[in-house]
């Protein structure tokens, strides 16, 4: 009897895939993990951290590094660091052939220089984030191809939802794997939007009919921002706004997802004028679960990369919530 039960148990276990690993993007200006951030990584068993090293923009007629991350404290030795580089679409649209060759060498050199201060282990993979278009695709794909030729690194790239649904139109990048970015689905400047970070109707409209040509993992949002409108026009994004400050009824008046400034004041270092409006956008547990359940049938994700790691998310999302998201992809 015992052997029969054991056999049934083993067969049952074989019918479900193990949950994907849980990783994070680190998109801050300084690499200096707080105790709370490190504890969250430990609690969900994170083994890979995608750290934005720098951006590349096209300025003064040439591609230049901007927003270079400053490492302040090393990372635990058992944590693999994946250097992540954001490239503006403008850069790949305007860079010349000669500049592209120089850019490749400069990027490799800069990645290695930063990495030597961040991690004692060699680089195994580098990820490039660029929202390429028809006018920049050829140059960006050539950049990726040459990067693979010049290094021993695995190369990955971020994939937008429209690129996932229409690969025959947008092309598939020549990389080892992609990470599907399931966030920033709406038009943030549209005042009629309710949540431009994640709108399930938008996600549903981009579900593909076939398989993508490279392995795809998935990135899900764990952030909050306030979209500032003045005289009906979007002015800026205020990242991780203080909810305790926004609850101050002497300065703010809240109605649904909108908050009106009733007394000129500062918020996160930005000066707000009386009459300004803030659309507060965030992602709760229910929306994350709904999103994971919707995209699971179209993906075979082995890794979930949450965007992004900072102290505010450690107070908003428990490790149980994040683990439950992972388990959706194992059923």
On whether residue 10 sits in a domain, the answer given is no
* Mean pLDDT in residue range 156-185: 97
Note the pLDDT of residue 11.
Answer: 46
> What would the DSSP string read from start to end of 256-314?
TTEEEESS-EEETTEEE-TT-EEEEE---HHHHHHHHHHHGGG---SEEEEE---HHHH
On whether residue 114 sits in a domain, the answer given is yes
The total number of structural domains that make up the chain: 2
> How many percent of the chain have pLDDT more than 90?
89
pLDDT band at residue 74 using 50, 70 and 90 as cut-offs: confident
On whether residue 34 sits in a domain, the answer given is yes
On whether residue 6 sits in a domain, the answer given is no
Report the relative pairing of strands 48-59 and 80-87 from DSSP bridges. Answer: parallel
Both tokens of residue 209? Answer: 């009919």
With vertex at residue 126, the alpha carbon angle to CA 123 and CA 132, rounded to the nearest 5 degrees, is: 170
Q: Mean pLDDT in the chain?
A: 93
Looking at the fold, whether 105 and 239 belong to one and the same domain comes out as no
* Mean pLDDT in residue range 55-61: 98
- Return the CA Rg of the chain: 21
- H/E run at residue 110: helix 97-118
Looking at the fold, whether 79 and 162 belong to one and the same domain comes out as yes
> What would the DSSP string read from start to end of 195-207?
-SS--HHHHHHT-
pLDDT band at residue 87 using 50, 70 and 90 as cut-offs: very high
* Mean pLDDT in residue range 153-162: 98
Looking at the fold, whether 214 and 239 belong to one and the same domain comes out as no
Between CA 146 and CA 127 the distance in angstroms is: 14
225 and 240 Cβ atoms separated by less than 8 Å:
yes
| Last residue within a domain, chosen from 281, 302, 317 | 281
* Mean pLDDT in residue range 217-229: 97
Looking at the fold, whether 106 and 177 belong to one and the same domain comes out as yes
Both tokens of residue 99? Answer: 């500049």
Looking at the fold, whether 139 and 246 belong to one and the same domain comes out as no
Note the pLDDT of residue 147.
Answer: 98
Q: How many H-runs (helices) and E-runs (strands) does the chain carry?
A: 12, 18
Buried b (16+ CB within 10 A) or exposed e, 182-196: bbbbbeeeeeebebb
| Last residue within a domain, chosen from 264, 281, 298 | 281
Looking at the fold, whether 199 and 318 belong to one and the same domain comes out as yes
180 and 217 Cβ atoms separated by less than 8 Å:
yes
On whether residue 156 sits in a domain, the answer given is yes
Domain residues for the domain of 257 are 224-281
pLDDT exceeds 70 at position 167: yes
**pTM for this one?**
0.92
CATH number for the domain harbouring residue 292: 3.20.20.80
251-301: pLDDT as tens digits: 999 998 899 999 999 999 999 999 999 999 999 999 999 999 999 999 999
Lowest mean per-residue pLDDT among 2-6, 159-163, 197-201: 2-6
On whether residue 9 sits in a domain, the answer given is no
On whether residue 13 sits in a domain, the answer given is no
Closest to 322 measured CA to CA, from 40, 34, 66, 6: 40
24-52: pLDDT as tens digits: 999 999 999 999 999 999 999 999 999 99
Looking at the fold, whether 43 and 160 belong to one and the same domain comes out as yes
Looking at the fold, whether 233 and 218 belong to one and the same domain comes out as no
210 and 297 Cβ atoms separated by less than 8 Å:
no
pLDDT band at residue 16 using 50, 70 and 90 as cut-offs: low
Looking at the fold, whether 312 and 183 belong to one and the same domain comes out as yes
Looking at the fold, whether 120 and 184 belong to one and the same domain comes out as yes
pLDDT exceeds 70 at position 130: yes
């Amino acid at each position: 009897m015992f052997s029969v039960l054991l056999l049934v148990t083993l067969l049952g276990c074989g019918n479900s895939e193990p949950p994907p690993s849980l990783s994070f993007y680190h998109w801050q200006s300084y690499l200096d993990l707080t105790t709370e951030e490190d504890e969250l990584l430990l609690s969900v068993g994170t083994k890979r951290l995608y750290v934005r090293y720098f951006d590349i923009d096209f300025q003064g007629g040439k591609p230049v590094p901007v927003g270079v991350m400053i490492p302040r404290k090393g990372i635990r030795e058992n944590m693999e660091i994946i250097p992540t580089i954001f490239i503006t679409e403008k850069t790949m649209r305007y860079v010349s052939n000669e500049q592209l060759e120089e850019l490749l060498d400069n990027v490799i050199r800069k990645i290695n220089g930063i990495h030597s201060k961040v991690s004692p282990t060699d680089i195994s993979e580098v990820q490039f984030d660029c929202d390429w278009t028809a006018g920049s695709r050829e140059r960006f794909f050539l950049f990726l191809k040459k990067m693979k030729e010049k290094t021993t690194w695995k190369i990955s790239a971020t994939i937008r939802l429209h690129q996932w649904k229409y690969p025959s139109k947008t092309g598939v990048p020549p990389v080892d794997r992609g990470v599907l970015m399931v966030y920033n689905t709406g038009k943030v400047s549209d005042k009629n939007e309710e949540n431009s970070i994640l709108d399930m109707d938008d996600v549903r409209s981009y579900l593909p009919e076939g398989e993508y040509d490279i392995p795809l993992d998935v990135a899900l949002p764990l952030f909050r921002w306030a979209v500032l409108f003045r005289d009906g026009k979007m002015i800026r994004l205020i990242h991780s706004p203080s909810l305790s400050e926004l609850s101050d009824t002497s300065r703010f008046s809240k109605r649904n997802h909108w908050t009106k400034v009733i007394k000129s004041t500062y918020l996160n270092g930005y000066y707000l004028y009386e009459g300004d409006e803030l659309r507060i956008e965030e992602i709760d547990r229910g929306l994350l679960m709904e999103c994971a359940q919707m995209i699971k049938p179209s993906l075979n994700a082995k890794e979930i990369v949450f965007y992004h790691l900072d102290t505010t998310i450690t107070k908003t999302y428990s490790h149980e919530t994040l683990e439950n998201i992972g388990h959706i992809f194992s059923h």
